[in-house]
Amino acid sequence: MASDQKTFVFDEVAKHNKADDCWLIISGKVYDVTLFMDNHPGGGEVWLRATGKDATVDFSDVDHSDIAKGKMEKYYIGEIDQSTIPVKHSNSKHTLIIKVLLVGIMVGALGILFAVL
């Protein structure tokens, strides 16, 4: 990585959300994967679903090989300014855990409600 690396803001990265212009945010880094869209084993549509948000969890959920992870550097174009990622577009594990907990609480509350009725 060069010392003069570019730092992008979320809104700028989110604009690159098409098959012929596709950027991803993974682990605080920005990747221009446009040239690899047709060659991605899971298909380019997987990446299109990951645009416009922090795709770190999406990427981590798939067991990528060390070779695949090594190829990422080829598409690296800079860093993301984390403070510019809106909370609703964040895809952190904490957000996922909170959603799971809320669903669990709701299910428990419904169970109590139906038990009382």
Domain membership flag for residue 27: yes
Which pTM does this prediction carry?
A: 0.69
With the CA atoms of 35, 27, 93 and 64 taken in that order, what torsion angle do they form, in degrees rounded to the nearest 10?
A: 50
Domain membership flag for residue 1: no
Specify the DSSP element, H or E, that contains 76. Answer: strand 76-80
Domain membership flag for residue 70: yes
* Phi and psi at residue 77, to the nearest 5°: -125, -10
For residue 13, the enclosing domain spans 6-116
Domain membership flag for residue 16: yes
Count of domains forming the chain: 1
Strand order in the sheet with 6-8: 6-8, 76-80, 29-32, 21-26, 17-18
List pLDDT tens digits, range 3-61. Answer: 578 999 999 999 999 999 999 999 999 999 999 888 787 777 888 888 999 999 888 88
Cα 30 to Cα 13: distance, rounded to the nearest angstrom: 8
List pLDDT tens digits, range 58-72. Answer: 888 888 888 888 889
35: domain CATH number? 3.10.120.10
Domain membership flag for residue 98: yes
Helix (H, G, I), strand (E, B) or coil at 94: helix
Are 112 and 38 a contacting pair, CB within 8 Å?
Answer: no
